[in-house]
Amino acid sequence: MLRHITIPRGPIELAADLHLPDDIDQAVPLRAVVLSTPGSSVKGQIGANYASRLAARGIAALVFDPAHQGQSGGEPRDLEDPYRRGEDISYAIDALSTISGINPERIGVLGICAGGGYAVHTARTDHRIKAVGTVVPGNMGTSFRSFQPDGPAGALDTMADARIEETRTGELTRVNWLPDTLEDAAAAGLTDIDTTQAITFYRTERGRNEHSTNRRLSRGDSLLLGYDAYHLVDQLMTQPLQVILAGRIGNTGSYESGMQLWKLAPNPVDLMVIEGAGHYEMYDEPEYVDAAVDRLVTFYSDHL
């Protein structure tokens, strides 16, 4: 069962989908999970793959488009602000906890890829979250800092100059998350399996969504460079933690990030490595997604 809802978020609203079990016992309020999706992703993509499966197993699942992206409100468009991404999760919990039939004391999060880092960062200080599940979790700060040829500080100098120019001209710059086609990737020398699988998912009929633009507002990149999704996790994130990783270690950094999170967390409960799976295959390959959801359902059933 799918309900389209809107989430009040200050002056704007977030577009969201609430996935519910088909058979609901009105006398027993449901466990629920808020999903935090990868960078550039919208609610109808990876989040829907996991949310629909959780609902089929009896757990309500709410997935939303981030502020400034997809069908949600917020200007400027295409902004990836890691701090606002975390706030989105808390606003989603606000809305979810007021819905009839949902138990506000049994709400968890599930973060996937960059959304894993955002979910963890939020759970540190929002203890309405009772359990934290992650699938191929990424720390966007670590990723962005590692990709700068002139180093993070040099990149920030360049961004400062670019923002001065944007302020002067009034024209905002957007960049691609990924090459739009495999041909564009090959022309840029990007032929590794992770890049090609990402493009095959996001930019072809396999996973394309009309509301996912594949564009990122450049001025937000300075926020990502200064971000650490795992800051103070060892002191503040006391909730039970589930980490699910892809066994084929590629260049996304999610395996390393997930292992770092596992070691930092005060209450790690279950670590699962799905052998043979690559990072992007964890988005929609039924064999791997089903295996992850089976483990997540057990985790949430035990800890929500």
Q: Is residue 251 part of a domain?
A: yes
* 116 contact partners, CB below 8 Å, separation of at least 6: 36, 134, 135, 136, 137, 138, 229, 254, 257, 258, 261
Q: What is the CATH number of the domain that holds 262?
A: 3.40.50.1820
Q: Is residue 26 part of a domain?
A: yes
Q: Distance between CA atoms of 106 and 129, rounded to whole angstroms?
A: 8
- What range defines the domain where residue 290 resides? 2-141+228-303
CB 1 within 8 A of CB 30: no
Work out how many domains the chain is built from and give that number: 1
Q: Is residue 164 part of a domain?
A: no
Q: Is residue 234 part of a domain?
A: yes
Q: Is residue 148 part of a domain?
A: no
pTM for this prediction: 0.97
Q: Distance between CA atoms of 39 and 214, rounded to whole angstroms?
A: 9
Q: Is residue 249 part of a domain?
A: yes
Sequential pLDDT tens for the chain (304 residues): 999 999 999 999 999 999 999 987 777 899 999 999 999 999 999 999 999 999 999 999 999 999 999 999 999 999 999 999 999 999 999 999 999 999 999 999 999 999 999 999 999 999 999 999 999 999 999 999 999 999 999 999 999 999 999 999 999 999 999 999 999 999 999 999 999 999 999 999 999 999 999 999 999 999 999 999 999 999 999 999 999 999 999 999 999 999 999 999 999 999 999 999 999 999 999 999 999 999 999 999 999 9
Q: Is residue 166 part of a domain?
A: no
